[in-house]
Structure 1
């Protein structure tokens, strides 16, 4: 029995010793694995940084990161070593996410991430107070963060062909320098109130949305000179549109307009309009031009068409008014 106890004790001691050794070996293997992983990450970051540095160019005194048609679904944190960049131009890179560290690039003037697969915009973008152009067209963005209103230098905002944006945060009206906005081919059913309160808005494209009407307060966009509203469902125009004295380009093709308001005859700055493909009630045909050059320049549903349509509309209204005036006389004679 004593010998058995000694053997059992020896076995237990040996077992414990081996378990300790195995545990230490496993720990060392794990540490070595983690070290190799860290080393691999370091090398990958160095390789990525080297690759990114190759994409940096200087144009017009600006440091620009330009990547086109290369796959960069995410941007590595090593990009922070290029914090001096003033422009990002990343097109067709399959980028899915704007990194949260974007807010640390305080020198950015242009952020152009068009034609990617971005689904959201991080709130940290509001830290870019020097940003003048934010170009995010042809992505998959569904909403716009209110923090963009903190980009106080922003002059140009492009969100075209994201397909699902349906509104803008009212805080964007704080952007006093914003003059150019492209919202075409999204899901807007109304003109966002933020746009009506932008004092310096000059160019707006809301074509290819689901607008059914324009707000009566549209004339609050008093500095607007270009307005694209093609391919919507607009069925009438408010009388207040006649107050937009700076408007020079107005595109309303492919809508559901049945009439052109008379007030538009006094919009003297209007240089280009397009009413093509609307179910207008009056049939108006422009008179033939005297020479071929004028005929080529004449827009079938343009300015001349608009004025002639309004003229015919006034004639029709005048005739209707006369009929109302004289109809009692006929009744009395009878």
Structure 2
């Protein structure tokens, strides 16, 4: 009886008594009986607004069956019951916990995620054996200082709360290995975090961090650091000295440059998508000997250095939606074809010397094309003319040379609200296949675009202020490529169904809440890029009918669940789902690539 005696000393109400403060009606007696044997109790999803007293007092009060029948067998003697070590009360409606929490001092796991808690009781300090505490998806604004008394804690999950600060003494949790603070309101990370010397995984994503303390490099065992979706403009150079770091996530920040990584010899994944990085140099790559995944999508890169070919372990390289304009002059080295890549993304770059149909065929076709060009002696004279015309600013207001030589009507990066008539007048009798009006302040599509309806195949209207698509665009009979990223669009007109040659559409960084219905009816579509919107659902049955669709980018949207039927879209070669709030498939499945994702989904289709 010594075990009960210790608890009774803390609670004078305890002892051999039959009366209980509640009837325990909300918890089946069978569950309580099983918990006394196993030491584990799962009350998840029971619509509880408070924790029944019979749960807190499970190791204190005489069980119900003892009051009914005192002739227990040897295996059912209640006084030899197991202390409760694991309590799961997640997915309920709890708004608070009482200090009766102290009556379960043997707990090693306490899971109360997905409730409505605004605070934790100070009595939590008495759970000295606690190793895992999950309070994610609640409404916590502060953490009690008493939490720093949990010296045996190894996993602490605080994501999706409203925390603005970390309590003093947090560094005393020296056994902590896994800490998740994502989706809170943190503006700073205390320098004293460096004392968390056992930490292996740290998630700081989706906060309001503008910088990281240099002291963070003191975490000598840290393998996984996630700082996605913050306001970081730079990262401390000391970060590059973290020898144990394997996964580094810096997506959706404001980074303009990168440090070198001389000591990160174990780094396997580096995620830098959706920043403002303009230059990637040899010094950024030369030490990444173990890198498997390099994500540079949605930046401002104009070229990739030859040293990229030193990354012999590289399996996934994402360069989509940058400003890589050509394969000439090493903007993208042909020697890239020598790498054993499983995934290479180049969509959304203004490249002209590699045909779009090659890119749309997938990674292996692109690598094959690059290898075929390695033996070329160099750019021909005509290629040199093309590169000059594309990259050198024209002295005249309208680039007539581009019109005549490249068949491009280019009036981009002028920050204008209207396209002057002289731009269209300059076309005269010339054949135009491409229009580039990107990086302006256009609120509507120029009506005179209809004059080119019988010849234009490529239209770039990205980085403008378009909130609707006019019918003139829907009349471009030969349109095959349409770039509308970085606008204010939330819908597409039904008339776009008439674009019967459209193969690629880029709708990234707009305001779509659903995948526009009209896209399902454009059977020629091969690539749909709609990342960084607010898309909450897709229709797998309609997607399955789109037999030509090979690339679907749904990254960074609001998908709460992925319908298993999406696994039937077997024509998809590239399906990107990262950055959505769904819980399955998990990141480990996503990293295996499209084929693995589709197989995973198919296995979960209800029979």
Fold shared by both chains (TM-score > 0.5): yes
Counterpart of 1:285 in structure 2 is 354
Counterpart of 2:129 in structure 1 is 84
Counterpart of 2:86 in structure 1 is 57
1:191 aligns with 2:260: no
Counterpart of 1:94 in structure 2 is 139
1:157 counterpart SS class: strand
1:130 aligns with 2:193: no
Counterpart of 2:275 in structure 1 is 232
- Residues 63, 87 of structure 1: 8 Å contact kept: yes
In structure 2, relative to structure 1, the CA distance for the partners of 1:94 and 1:211 (3 Å cut) is: same
In structure 2, relative to structure 1, the CA distance for the partners of 1:317 and 1:266 (3 Å cut) is: farther
The separation in 2 between residues aligned to 1:119 and 1:306, in whole angstroms, is: 51
Deviation of 1:174 after TM superposition, in Å, equals 1.4
- Residues 165, 186 of structure 1: 8 Å contact kept: yes
Counterpart of 2:367 in structure 1 is 304
1:262 aligns with 2:306: yes
1:173 counterpart SS class: helix
Alpha-carbon deviations, 1:40-61, whole Å to 9, x = none? xxx9xxx8795985997269x9
1:273 counterpart SS class: strand
5+ residue gaps, structure 1? 1-42, 290-294, 321-334
1:111 counterpart SS class: strand
Counterpart of 2:195 in structure 1 is 150
The separation in 2 between residues aligned to 1:154 and 1:50, in whole angstroms, is: 36
1:102 counterpart SS class: helix
1:219 counterpart SS class: coil
- Residues 117, 139 of structure 1: 8 Å contact kept: yes
Deviation of 1:315 after TM superposition, in Å, equals 3.4
Counterpart of 2:548 in structure 1 is none
1:171 aligns with 2:234: no
The separation in 2 between residues aligned to 1:51 and 1:168, in whole angstroms, is: 46
Greater relative contact order (CA < 8 Å, ≥ 6 in sequence): 1
TM-score scaled by structure 2? 0.40
1:79 counterpart SS class: helix
1:243 counterpart SS class: coil
What is the aligned counterpart of 1:219 among 257, 262, 281? 262
- Residues 175, 198 of structure 2: 8 Å contact kept: yes
The separation in 1 between residues aligned to 2:252 and 2:241, in whole angstroms, is: 23
The separation in 1 between residues aligned to 2:377 and 2:325, in whole angstroms, is: 13
RMSD over equivalenced CA pairs, Å: 3.6
Alpha-carbon deviations, 1:80-112, whole Å to 9, x = none? 232211111112210111211121100100011
Deviation of 1:166 after TM superposition, in Å, equals 1.6
The separation in 2 between residues aligned to 1:167 and 1:313, in whole angstroms, is: 46
Aligned length: 266
In structure 2, relative to structure 1, the CA distance for the partners of 1:98 and 1:307 (3 Å cut) is: farther
- Residues 115, 137 of structure 2: 8 Å contact kept: yes
In structure 2, relative to structure 1, the CA distance for the partners of 1:317 and 1:306 (3 Å cut) is: same
2:308 counterpart SS class: helix
Alpha-carbon deviations, 1:142-201, whole Å to 9, x = none? 100112111111000000001x10222222211110010000000111122231121111
Deviation of 1:312 after TM superposition, in Å, equals 10
1:153 counterpart SS class: coil
Alpha-carbon deviations, 1:291-315, whole Å to 9, x = none? xxxx876278xx8399669959993
Alpha-carbon deviations, 1:214-248, whole Å to 9, x = none? 12x23332221100001000001121213311111
- Residues 101, 124 of structure 1: 8 Å contact kept: no
- Residues 123, 148 of structure 1: 8 Å contact kept: no
The separation in 1 between residues aligned to 2:224 and 2:86, in whole angstroms, is: 27
The separation in 1 between residues aligned to 2:135 and 2:162, in whole angstroms, is: 11
In structure 2, relative to structure 1, the CA distance for the partners of 1:71 and 1:254 (3 Å cut) is: same
